[in-house]
Structure 1
Amino acid sequence: MGGPWHFERAIIILEKHTGTGEIIELKLNQTESWIQIHNDPLICLSGEVGAFLGKMVGEVREVDVEIGKGDSDCFLCVRVGIDVFKPLKRRLKVDILSFGTITIMLLRYERLQDCCFSCGRLGHTLRVSGGKRGPGY
């Protein structure tokens, strides 16, 4: 509880050992993180919808039913188990109530370090040499 845990910017992954299995059988591929889901229509600001949206990212552990308040933005918070070997999702495209209108909801991961914004994977960051932005920025 309270993770994700870090040591020198590296994620520490813990897994509860069950039964009499061997260490090699532990997967050690999941970490938990709170995700803020932004750009939600008002109809989506509920615990049930938060759990549904969280399942699109990973395994839902907890939904914060108290809606967070940003500067001019309301958002849901969902604690999700994330597979560290897969790229992180940055947005969700959802058709609310099947009306044919796609809503793009932005995801912000809390307390995740060393995330590459280029490939979306954990474990390294995109560093620009000399502090200058390259072409396309």
Structure 2
Amino acid sequence: MGGPWQCKGDAFLVEGITAGSDPSSALFTHVPMWVQFRNIPFYLLTKKLAHDLGEMIGTTLMIDNNARGSINNKFIRTRVQLPLFMALQREIVLADDITGEEVVVQVRYERLPNFCLFCGFIGHMEARSDLPAAERKINFMPASSSPSSALR
């Protein structure tokens, strides 16, 4: 389950077709991707939560059974079928039923193809954004020097 495959930074998608069907009718609406969910208290790290978080951003395909990272910075990985018609999410807010507090889960995408820093959609970069110039602001600016590394 590799991928997403990339060519010059763009997602390279392959879709199966049946015999006799028109190849031009194939729809490319989703991209499978490993997603990391971080900043989760260790006592909440369950397969159910991994599945539910995946469903909040797409369709859960597979769950990595091993939590990763140090004890204070554990994260879970889920293989998700991400819809290309929705913007990437940087975080998900959950209610911690044990403490009653909100938990802000950080979402990081592995091998993230090119995407727009303005709108968060995979498939185009800022130069090809449909947003009017007055509405263009970088919504995915990370703390580091690489503009998209906060999501990667």
Q: What's the CA shift for 1:25?
A: 3.7
Question: Residue 68 of structure 1 corresponds to which residue in structure 2?
Answer: 68
Tell me the amino acid that sits aligned with residue 86 of structure 2. Answer: K
Tell me the amino acid that sits aligned with residue 6 of structure 1. Answer: Q
Whole-Å separation in 1 of the counterparts to 2:21 and 2:11: 24
Q: What's the CA shift for 1:47?
A: 1.5
Tell me the amino acid that sits aligned with residue 91 of structure 2. Answer: R
CA contact (8 A) 1:68 1:76 kept: yes
Q: What's the CA shift for 1:95?
A: 1.6
Bigger mean CA offset, 30-39 vs 114-123: 114-123
Deviation per residue, 1:40-73 (Å, 9 max, x gap): 1222212221111111111111111101116951
Q: What's the CA shift for 1:126?
A: 4.3
Residues 1:102 and 1:20: Cα distance change in structure 2 (over 3 Å): farther
1:117 partnered with 2:117: yes
What are the ranges of 5 or more consecutive residues in structure 1 without an aligned counterpart?
128-133
Residues 1:70 and 1:117: Cα distance change in structure 2 (over 3 Å): farther
Question: Residue 52 of structure 1 corresponds to which residue in structure 2?
Answer: 52
Residues 1:100 and 1:19: Cα distance change in structure 2 (over 3 Å): farther
Q: What's the CA shift for 1:29?
A: 1.1
What are the ranges of 5 or more consecutive residues in structure 2 without an aligned counterpart?
128-136, 142-152
Bigger mean CA offset, 56-65 vs 13-22: 13-22
Q: What's the CA shift for 1:9?
A: 1.5
Percent identity between matched residues is: 26
Residues 1:99 and 1:73: Cα distance change in structure 2 (over 3 Å): closer
Question: Residue 40 of structure 1 corresponds to which residue in structure 2?
Answer: 40
What's the TM-score once normalised by structure 2's chain length? 0.73
Deviation per residue, 1:9-35 (Å, 9 max, x gap): 111111222465433442211111111
